[in-house]
Each structure stands twice: as structure tokens, then as C-alpha cells.
Amino acid sequence: MIIMPDFSLERLVPEYIKTFEPYIPSKPDPELMKLYGCNHLYRLNNNENPLGPPPAAQEILRRFKPYKAAIYPSGDSYYLRKKLSAKHGLNPDQFLVGNGANEVITFVIKTFCQEGDNIITADKTFAVYEWVAQFSGFEARLVPLKNFYFDDQGMLDRIDERTKILFICNPNNPTGTYWNEGKLRRFLNTIEGRQIVVVDEAYFEFVEKEDYPDGIKLLRDYPNLIVFRTFSKMYGLAGLRIGYLVGSENVVDMIRRTCVVYSVNGVGQEAALMALDDDDHIRRTRNLVRAEKAFLKQEIDRLSLETQMAEGCYMMIRLPMSDTLAYRKLMAQGVMIRSMTGFRFPNWIRVSMGTHEAMEAFINALKRILP
Ligand SMILES: *Cc1c(COP(=O)(O)O)cnc(C)c1O
């Protein structure tokens, strides 16, 4: 090894990177199965669609021509943006597609934040807003949930002159609670365009409530609003990594400057295009989620455990034991759930709705591990 006395990570790496706790992704299923000694794995940890992608998207995947893998995809997801804009009656330039909604979070933070700025979100929500802000060197102000809901007044109270973005997860992952249209509008009216408001609608297609707001329809009234959607949840394309944001043209024109071209692969673009047409797939998925939520709720009530469930395809359960221990014990029986200590909900787990077989496997495994 060549000796380099002047090489110093200490000097090269910013303090906010050194102090950032890296996220450790879970191992691939076959590795986990070896580790926990199970020969089957029910994945109830990531809110994936148990029905998979819509049939038309599956067909596109089967027919994808291998030669196309050698060709760069459309750099701005041209046809997908065109289709999305037709569907919503907007301009294609109001859409920005990314490598999952996760990537569009980074676009937004890069666009608006500079040294000394902060963002505001909840303490118990999808953690990527907080993480991206922090590893980019910005303060993330975390407002405690109130009764499992995003606390609108609490968030407004934390705004200062360096606040650039407020992130609202609607419905919230993991609690399922949502702001209705009146509440969201009041919040936006109070902000009066001074900050960017992001509404993350990753579970939009699962919500059947009358008063649930369609953020995209509110864009007309609020030029500082940005809406996130994804193909990972309802559309069953999590593995292809495709999500998008929608905003007013001026706002999206700024955000587009921060995108690295070609981050969205060609297969994902084609599959997403086909997935958008399939309303029947949405109906079938909603039916499954509704039925399995009812089944799971009834079973958990029988065990006298506390639950938190509202919209979305998941339920939280409070266990009379450590959630990380429960995770390991459930894994040994081939059931993967999300332990919630990382979401600041110690002793809680989050279970995604799966096939009836998977839900029965979960309940049976849970009964065996309860003290
Ligand atoms: C799953 C999820 C996302 C990220 O989705 P990708 O498109 O797969 O990156 C974003 N927000 C919330 C609330 C989610 O649950």
C-alpha cells in the first residue's frame, strides 16, 4: 500500500455526514431464509402489492425486447409524462419522474435548501424526508404526531425565516391517518406561499374516503404545492423504482435542474405506462386490502392488543414485547414484518396487507410468540 500521510477522512468529510447513522437495508430473501432457517417467506414489511403489477404491465415485462436494454431510456420519461398529464388535465412539464418517489424527495430538497435552511415534518412518518435533509446538511424539524395525526398547528409554530419545505405524508405511513381537504386547504392558506408544501400521496390509490383530498386538484389554487405519487405501492412496481412529483410549471422548472438524467430505467417507464390504465387492478387490490384489514383487526382484537389503522395497506400493532425481538421470532416462522423502533414507535410493528394465506400465517406465528 502506498503511504499517504495527508489522506484524512476527518478533514474531507463534513460533520453532518460523520454523525449521520447509515441506514442498513435488509438482506435479500434467500439470505434471510438461510439466516432464520425458514423455507418460505411472507413479505409483510414493505407495503408491496400482493397481487403484483397489473396484468397489462406484466405482459409488457414479458415482452420487453432484450436489445432495448442496451439503449438509454427516455431521459425525461417522455411518454409517461404525456400520459400522466392527459390523465390529470395538466401540462406534461408539471410532472417530474424519478427513480422512485425516494429520488424526487432528494430533487426537492436540493432545489430549495441551502446552508442554514430547515425542513419541517413529523417525528413518526416516512423517514426519508428527514434523512435526506440531514445527510445534505440541513436541519429537519420533527413535530410530534398528535393522536397519530400530523399536527398542523405544531408544524406552523416551528416555521422560521429559514424554513423552506414542509413535508406531509397523506395518508401517513405508518399510522394511516390523513388530513381532509378542509384541513389541508386551511394549512396551505395559512402558509400563503411562503414555503414549499409537499404532500406525499404514496398511498393515494388506496384511500376511499369522500373527504380525502386529491393534491393534484389543489395545484390550481396553490403554486407552492408539490404532490408525490409512486408506482411502488398500488401499481406493484416497487422493484422497477418509479415515482413522480407534480407541481406548478415554474416550480417544476426549478426542480428539473437538480435531476440527473437517465435515473429512470426504460422497463420501468414502459410498465408504468401500462399500469396506469388498469382500474380493475386498483379495485381488486382495494378489495383485498379491505377484507384482510377486517380479518386482521378481528384477530388482533381477540388477542386484546392495541392497533392503529386507518387508510393505506398497513396496520400497526402494539406488542407486549420488544418489536425487534418479535421481528426475529416471526422471521424464524417465515413472516417478515416491519419493526417500528426505527419509526420511533418502540414495541410496535407494522404489518402490510397480504394474501389471506399470508395474513393467516402472520396471525398463527404471532400467537406462538406472544408471552
Ligand atoms: C413507499 C413510500 C415512498 C417511496 O416510494 P418509492 O417510489 O418506492 O421510492 C414514499 N413515501 C411513502 C410514504 C412511502 O410509503
pLDDT at 1: 77
Please report the pLDDT score of residue 6 as a whole number.
Answer: 87
d(CA 78, CA 73): 10
pLDDT digits (tens, 9 = 90+) for 155-214: 999 999 999 999 999 999 999 999 999 999 999 999 999 999 999 999 999 999 999 999
Say yes or no: CB of residue 199 within 6 Å of ligand 1.
no
All CATH 3.40.640.10 domain ranges of the chain, comma separated, are 55-275
Could you tell me if the CB of 101 is within 6 A of ligand 1?
yes
* Residue 132 φ/ψ, nearest 5 degrees: -65, -40
169 lines ligand 1 (CB under 6 A): yes
Residue (of 351, 357, 354) closest to 300 by Cα position: 351
Cα distances (angstroms) measured from residue 135 to each of 70, 102, 126: 34, 14, 16
Amino acid 371: pLDDT: 86
pLDDT one-digit tens code per residue, 229-284: 999 999 999 999 999 999 999 999 999 999 989 999 999 999 999 999 999 999 99
Sign of CA dihedral 42, 47, 49, 53: negative
Instruction: Please say if the pLDDT value at position 2 is more than 90.
Output: no
Span 22-80, pLDDT tens digits: 988 999 999 999 999 999 999 999 999 999 999 999 999 999 999 999 999 999 999 99
Average pLDDT over residues 289-306: 98
Pinpoint the residues of the chain covered by CATH 3.90.1150.10: 9-52+280-369
| Topology of the domain covering 55-275 | Aspartate Aminotransferase; domain 2 (3.40.640)
What is the helix (H) or strand (E) element at residue 333, kind and residue range?
A: none
Which residue shows C-alpha cell 402490510? 352
Say which CATH topology domain 9-52+280-369 has: Aspartate Aminotransferase, domain 1 (3.90.1150)
In testing the pocket of ligand 1, which one of 45, 47, 102, 314 has its CB within 8 Å of the most ligand atoms?
Answer: 102
Q: Is 173 in the pocket of ligand 1 (CB under 6 A)?
A: yes
| pLDDT (average), residues 7-21 | 94
Q: What pTM did the predictor assign?
A: 0.97
Q: How far are the Cα atoms of 56, 153, 164, 199 from residue 146, in angstroms, in the given order?
A: 42, 10, 23, 18
Whether the CB-CB separation of 246 and 95 falls below 8 Å is answered with: yes
